[in-house]
Structure 1
Amino acid sequence: MKVFSTLLILILLTSCYSVERKCSDFKTGTFEFTYTLDGIEQTTKFKRTEDFNIDYHEGKADSSSIRWINDCEFILKKLHPTSNSEKDAIHMKILNTTANSYTFDYKLAVKRPNKPLNVEHGVAKKID
């Protein structure tokens, strides 16, 4: 009986836990994102407004439009794609937040037929 009541209390306590998501704090601002490409760690900065996202990488700026689905999810679409793969929209979802960063998932907004849908993860830090 003690085991059952202990287990029940643990389940009740863990079911009340919720991940903090103050997504509205990260709708606009300047951010930094570190990722690995071909075994090399790289960092990019980007500035987000309500309607646009501007990436700064290796001295180049790349702009995308933003369509917010809700406070924690949005769709990015490149304004000037240079290849067919850049024409695809990206679905971004903020999973949790801290005081100055957020963890997110991103994937293609539309699944391609006969191809697996890859979901990537990342952490962005707010620097301004």
Structure 2
Amino acid sequence: MKALLAILLCLTLVSCYNNERNCADFKTGEYKFNYIVDGVEKTARFIRTDSLSINYYDGKVDSSSVRWINDCEFILKTLNPKSNAEKDPLHMKILSTDGTSSYSFEYKLTVKKPNRPLRVEKGVAYRIK
């Protein structure tokens, strides 16, 4: 009985923990993040304003419109898509923040494709400026 009470107390304390989410601090700025393509880790950077995101990766520059849903979620839509895959908007969500230096995020397509599993990718963005 004491063990059950101890477990319930621990679960109660753990369930009260909330991630820090000061998302408004990360609406604009310059950031970098690491990603993996074919087993090779690469670094990309982006500059985001209230309505625009300019992405620099693999020697390419790409721009997307930004539409904020709330302080922690926004939709990215490529301005000049070069393929059908680039036409699909992404739903971005800030999961937690670490002071003013970084935030963890997840992203997925805004609309699930028929007969395909919905992929949710996660990452961490680090503030440069």
Q: Do both proteins adopt the same fold according to a TM-score greater than 0.5, normalized to the shorter chain?
A: yes
Deviation of 1:8 (Å): 2.9
- Structure 1 distance, partners of 2:121, 2:13, is 31
Q: Which whole-Å CA distance do the structure 1 matches of 2:72 and 2:29 have between them?
A: 15
Q: What code does the residue aligned with 2:80 have?
A: H
Tell me, in whole angstroms, the C-alpha distance in 1 between the residues paired with 2:123 and 2:49. Answer: 20
Matched residue, 2:76: 76
Q: Which amino acid aligns with 1:70?
A: N
Letter of the structure 1 residue corresponding to residue 54 of structure 2: I
Deviation at 1:36, TM superposition (A): 0.6
Offset at residue 15 of structure 1 (A)? 2.0
Q: CA deviation at 1:107?
A: 0.7
> How many residues end up aligned between the 2 structures?
128
CA drift of 1:72 comes to 0.8
The aligned counterpart of 1:20 is 20
Unaligned runs of 5+ in 2: none
- Give the AA of the match of 2:5: S
Q: Which residue of 2 aligns with 1:47?
A: 47
Matched-pair identity in %: 58
Tell me the distance in 1 between the aligned counterparts of 2:2 and 2:57.
59
Report the secondary structure of 1:5's partner residue: helix
What is the match of residue 107 of structure 2? 106
CA distance in 1, matches of 2:127, 2:27: 11
Cα RMSD over matched residues? 1.2
- TM-score calculated relative to the size of structure 1: 0.94
> Closer, same or farther in 2 for the Cα pair 1:3/1:58, shift >3 Å?
closer
Q: TM-score, normalised by structure 2?
A: 0.93
Q: How does 1:31-46 map to 2 (within 5 A)?
A: 31-46=31-46
> Secondary structure of the equivalent of 1:86?
helix
